[in-house]
């Protein structure tokens, strides 16, 4: 292989890394509870230069929104947020009881072991818009945390 094609291939690979606007780790979703048509998805998001998540979509659900849960007096409330800020070089955790991806009108029940894709709509620091696919695994607990043992006696 000559030097010029090798350099071109290397530049192409490096430019692909530059297109990855948000580093996503630990993406998972809870299994859908029988009789309910919604569930939550969780992950950690980090943008080196800062970005905004403007929304999300998935073929697995009819409605996909970024939600926030927080205390309002003594009541926990959940609401959709139009924009999720990703400050430069800071990890934003989407987790149970906080920010999360709310999936409603599920197209099929999601059970442990299933995988599906969520597409995040992101506004980069330069105001350009990109869609970033995220593979999500359906699990009973976050990655790295053992699932509760259903046979354990309390």
Say how far residue 75 (Cα) sits from the centre of its chain.
26
Does residue 123 contact residue 129 with C-beta atoms inside 8 Å?
yes
The CATH superfamily label for domain 23-138 reads PCu(A)C copper chaperone (2.60.40.1890)
Give DSSP secondary structure letters for 134-146.
EEEEE-SS-TTSP
pLDDT of residue 142: 84
For residue range 2-44, list pLDDT tens digits in order.
Answer: 555 554 444 444 444 444 579 999 999 999 888 889 999 999 9
- Residue 101's CB is within 10 A of a number of other CB atoms, namely 26
What is the mean predicted confidence (pLDDT) over 66-73? 90
What does the alpha-carbon distance between residue 86 and residue 88 come to, in Å, rounded to a whole number? Answer: 6
Domain ranges of the chain: 23-138
pTM: 0.79
Q: Which of 69-83, 92-106, 130-144 has the highest mean pLDDT?
A: 92-106
């Amino acid at each position: 292989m000559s030097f010029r094609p090798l350099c071109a291939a290397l530049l192409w690979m490096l430019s692909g890394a530059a297109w990855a606007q948000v580093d996503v780790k630990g993406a998972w979703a809870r299994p859908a509870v029988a009789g309910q048509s919604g569930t939550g998805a969780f992950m950690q998001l980090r943008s080196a230069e800062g970005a905004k998540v403007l929304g999300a979509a998935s073929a697995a659900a009819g409605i996909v929104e970024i939600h926030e849960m927080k205390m309002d007096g003594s009541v926990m409330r959940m609401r959709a947020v139009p924009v999720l800020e990703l400050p430069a070089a800071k990890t934003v955790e989407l987790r149970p009881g906080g920010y999360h991806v709310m999936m409603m009108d599920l197209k099929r029940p999601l059970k442990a072991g299933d995988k599906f894709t969520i597409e995040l709509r992101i506004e980069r620091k330069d105001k350009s818009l990109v869609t970033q696919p995220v593979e999500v695994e359906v699990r009973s607990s976050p990655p790295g945390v053992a699932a509760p043992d259903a046979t354990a006696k309390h």
